[in-house]
Each structure stands twice: as C-alpha cells, then as structure tokens.
Amino acid sequence: MGLFKSYGRPCRVYRKNINRFYTMSKLFINELDLKGKRVFVRVDYNVPFDEQGNITDDARIRATLPTINYLLDEGAKIILASHLGRPGGKPLPELSMKPVAKRLNRLLNKDVTLASDCIGPEVKKKVEAMQPEDVLLLENLRYHKGERENDPEFAKELASLCDVMVQDAFGNCHRAHASMVGMNEKVSQSAAGFLLKREIDYFEKAVNVPSRPVVAIVGGAKVLDKIKIIENLVKKVDKLIIGGAMAFPFLAVHGYGIGKATVDENVVIKVLNINKLAKERGVKIYLPVDFVAADKFDGDAETKLVTFQEVPDNWFALDIGPASTKLFSEAMQNAKTIIWNGPMGAFEIDAFSRGTYSMVESVVTAYALTIVGGGDTDLAFHRMGESYKVSFISTGGGAFLELLEGKELPGIAALTDSPSHELASERS
C-alpha cells in the first residue's frame, strides 16, 4: 500500500509502492464526501513577482488546478488558503493575495472572491454565504503570527471555516505551521490533494522503488545542508554526480586545492564516511575534472579554465568546465532514473551558468525518468525552455530536500489515516 489509498476518479497515478517515510497510508481527496461541503484547501501560492507586482511564474498555481477542478465537479464550496512571502505577521499590501486571485479568475474561467483576511467575522460571513462551486481565496496566512507559530487558537479559527481539509501545499509540508499541522487536529478529516499525491508518487518512483541504474546529481552551495542528502542518497543510488560548491569537500579530502573555498571539519568527516559507504556499496562518485575559475565573485571577473588540480589559491572555482560536463553526461547515458537538485556553479551569474545549462541538455536527452527538485535547478530548465521535457519538476524545494534526507514531513504526517488501510491492518 502506498502513502495514499486511491480509487475512483480521476486519479491515474500508480499506487502499488510502499512508502518508507510514513507507517500508515493517508486519506486521499477522493475518499471524502464533498458535495455541498466547505472544503479548506491549503495551497502553496508563494509565487514570484516583478517590480510592478505582476506574477512572473504561475507554475505553483497551475499545479493546484486538478484538485480545484475536482472539487468543483463534486459540488464543494472551495476555500483556498496560502502564505505569500514573509510579512512578519503584518498586513503588507505588497504581499497581498490580490494578484493570485486575479490569475485564478483567468485560469479557472470563473469568479474567485478574495477575502479581506483569513480569519475573523467578515471572513466567516463570506463563508456562510458560499454556494456549491463557489471559490473563496483567503488573504495571506502570514499576515498573522499565529500561522508560523502554529498557534492553537489561530488553527482553531481556520478550522472553524470548513467541514473538511485538503492538503495540497507540498512546498510547505516541511513546516509545522498552523495551516499545515495545527488545523489537522481540529477538523474531522484532512486528506491529500492531487498535487501532493503526485509529488509523493514521483518521489517514490525515483528514490524508494526506482528503475535502475539510478543517477543522482547534487549541486548548489548549501554544503552543510546538502551533505545530509548525499549521506542518504549514497545508500539508494548507483551513481552520484557532485557539482557546485558541494564538490569542494570531496576534492579537499583527496588533498586537492579548492581555491578560496573553505571546508567545515564536520563536513570532511561526513565526506570520508560517504566515500567509505560508496566503496562498500559499489556506488560510483563523479566529481568535476575542470572548472571555470575567477579572480572574484562577479560577472566582470577575470576568468580562466583550469583542471581540478590547478585552481589558484586566491581564485574562486565558480562553474564546471566542458570536460566535467562531458564526463557527467557519459555517466548518465545508461540511467533509468535521474534525480537532480542544485546547479553546477554560480548559476545566478550568466558567466558561470554554462555548466548547469549543459547538464540540462544532457538530462532532457537521457532515456530515463527525470525528476528535478525545484529551486535554481527548476529555473535553469525554464530559462532554456526545456521544462516540458522533464518527467517531473517538484513544486517544493525545501520539502523535496527533506524527503531526500529521509525525513518525515509534518504536513503529510498530520493527515488523517485512510480507514481502508486501518481495516486492512486489523485483518492482518
């Protein structure tokens, strides 16, 4: 049994895999009686804006449409709730959900009402006046400190608006906030939506029950955080490609210079353990063999291509070179599953983005299930216009990373257990 029990329409995702993060299967949206019910849907509409306040990427909004449309078909009264930015418990106009409501109007081709707040008497009046198939978007949850503090009273106020709850904010499932965890204890039922289930099912396919060989690509600059991911992945994959700043401690333990980069002693110890485990399990670790080095961390810096043995002490290694991209591409040729999180260099600077873009080309041409874990990696695929060639791009960077670490996500763990699973357990 998978994490979610699924039957009926319109879920088409597979459901045979055993989830290794949660001991019980969780309730899925199509197990709920929804007709005429007030349904609180926690979504993640924390979308980017330009200087004029226009939404620049609505992928997270579009990803929730299957859940919303299903609820419309079932005749539910839909209450959408999300955070946006970090207003610090204050109602900041620039972080209002107004542009999101406008975009939802267009995407759903129906009126979406924006509430003036997310709790309080005026909101309750709007909810009480709702008819089946109405859609109400609450104002930014983080206008109240109680959201991030998981305040019981704030959670109770949110719960009072609905009959049942649907969790579809995968990108925030690693946060133990009021709308993610606290509410679940105060509603009769809380179930996963289609977006959440799709995220977990793809993760299962990639990490827990993958088609092999499995190749994981880990880059980025958050070494202390991501070294934990590599510790978990080395137990699950067949090949491990490491780029970006993540490569520096692996090179350092072999005695190679890493320029101006520094390596934490605790990280070195973890790298030694990873190398030992990789050798025991027959996991091949691939590291960069050349770099684009720069005399300063800047787009106007003097640059030169150097081998991994020749990074100048007073320079920065800011991107992988062509020999590294060729090596990494060859490592992926026979892969059946590819997981990627983190760019290959200082991707935010154009001069040091070529390594990441080259890896994008290699991934999209691979004959494999390809899964990208959000953040800058997601951005690279979008900028190249190649996102549609990837099997799946996660909507949650932080949540995806914690899954890769093998952690339990509070927002999923708090969901109602599926009664069908409980019955099966009793019979066994």
For the chain (length 428 residues), average pLDDT per consecutive 10? Answer: 38 33 71 96 93 87 96 98 95 95 96 97 97 98 97 97 97 95 94 94 87 94 88 94 95 90 90 96 97 90 93 94 96 94 91 94 93 82 88 87 88 88 44
Angle separating helix axes 397-405 and 223-233, nearest 10 degrees: 50
pLDDT at 421: 53
Which sequence spans correspond to the domains of the chain? 29-200+408-427, 212-367
pLDDT at 22: 41
> What pTM was estimated for this model as a whole?
0.85
pLDDT at 205: 86
| Catalytic residue IDs | 60, 222, 375, 398
Tell me which CATH code domain 29-200+408-427 carries: 3.40.50.1260
Q: Please name the residue that has the structure tokens 């070195």.
A: 268
pLDDT at 396: 82
Tokens at 255, concatenated:
């005695």
Strand pairing partners for 191? 166
Q: Do domains 29-200+408-427 and 212-367 have the same CATH topology?
A: yes
CB atoms within 10 A of CB 253: 16
Distance CA 13, CA 194 (A): 9
Query: For residues 415 and 4, is the Cβ–Cβ distance under 8 A?
Result: no
Walk across the sheet containing 77-81 and list its strands.
113-114, 135-137, 77-81, 38-42, 164-167, 190-192
Q: Please name the residue that has the structure tokens 């030992």.
A: 276
Superfamily of domain 212-367: Phosphoglycerate kinase, N-terminal domain (3.40.50.1260)
Helix or strand run (H / E) with residue 329: helix 322-331
Three-class DSSP category at 395: coil
DSSP one-letter code for 64: T
pLDDT at 374: 67
